[in-house]
Amino acid sequence: METHTLQQVTQTEIAQVFSSEFPLQMECGVQFGPIDVAYETYGTLNASSDNAILVCHALTGNAHAAGFSSNDPKTAGWWNSLIGVGKPLDTEKYFVVCSNFFGSCYGTTGSISENPKTGKPYGLDFPQMTVRDMVNVQKALIDKLGIKKIKTVIGGSLGGMQVLEWTLLFPQLVESIIPIATAAQHSPWAIALNAIARQAIMNDPAWQNGNYYNSIQPENGLSLARQIAMLSYRSEQEFAERFHRERIKVNGKDSTYRFDNENYFQSENYLRYQGKKLVNRFDANTYLYISRAMDLHDVAANRGELNDVLHTIDKPALCIGIDSDILYPVREQKQIAQYLPHSTYNEISSPYGHDAFLIEFEKVGNFVREFFKKYSL
């Protein structure tokens, strides 16, 4: 029987930031360790240790935010156009750090990691982490790297949730923030979408209550979960302009009246392709944990009323919304900006929906440059 394997993205460094003797106190009440963190750095930390920028990645992302060549997919990172010499996150000026967050499957400890007590993957024995737990793990890495100040914390989607938590948990360390296409509280709409995606995974017989690591992972369920998510990441406008009502043809014939796996609309073909891509690089249990962590995200939890909590963030903030984003619509970005005392709001006009922050690099970069110039960062 084929064993479940994961195509890992090579990370530059792995650091242990918590141990079994000195564990992380998690929000769920569990003391957990050891915890390893996969991370990459770009540029050089200055003598004052105060020129760092922290980049926070989204749901299925990783620490490989930048590479050596934007033309080589093996080395290019997911934000390659923004990080590097002369780019908005200029590595001649800043020490840029991107770490794989706690609970992911790209080198940082998560459900796919080996449980030292059993010698097997944690699976569903892994405790449910939260966005605050992710940030506390990142903070331990920042301390280990000797960073004294962070010029800005930047990220989109789940990365933006981390950004907001950073300045609330460690305001003395952060000079500014750039939350992009994100939420201060995960909405009922977003929670519902995640719930359906999790059901897709757990209803796959191959899931085996999370105990699939000696066989194959629930590929059909994970693929379907990704397809559900993709509908919220893009927009109706993009689908209409990109796919129209074009059909797939086999041997020059249109046979879409049959229910088989080779004949369907181009829009269906795109979703299936995206589902297959994720199956080849991600872990199903990890998807369950991360999506639940997003649902639990609420910066006001145990802190007070949302507007009052946001008002305590007394740092320069650049909030970026996307006009076609149906997952985290612009009204949520405007609400965040409205209650941050020193905020700037910019909006990306794009047909690409929520994913525009991973596509519209020039627009994002221009906003970042203007923000840095305005506050002399």
User: Catalytic positions, please?
Assistant: 157, 325, 354
Respond yes or no on whether the N-terminal peptide bond of residue 73 is cis (omega within 30° of 0). no
Task: Give the chain's radius of gyration (CA, Å).
Answer: 21
Which residue intervals of 105-187 are DSSP H helices?
131-144, 158-169
Which residue intervals of 47-125 are DSSP H helices?
none
Return the DSSP state at 150: E
Backbone angles phi and psi of 109, in degrees to 5: -55, 130
How far is C-alpha 101 from the geometric centre of its chain's CA atoms? Answer: 8
| Cβ–Cβ < 8 Å for 156, 357 | yes
The angle, 0 to 180 degrees and rounded to 10, between the axes of the packed helices 188-202 and 284-296 is 160
Cα angle 162, 211, 20; round to 5: 55
> Which residues 6+ apart lie within 8 Å of 194 measured at CB?
291, 292, 294, 295
| Cβ–Cβ < 8 Å for 269, 248 | yes
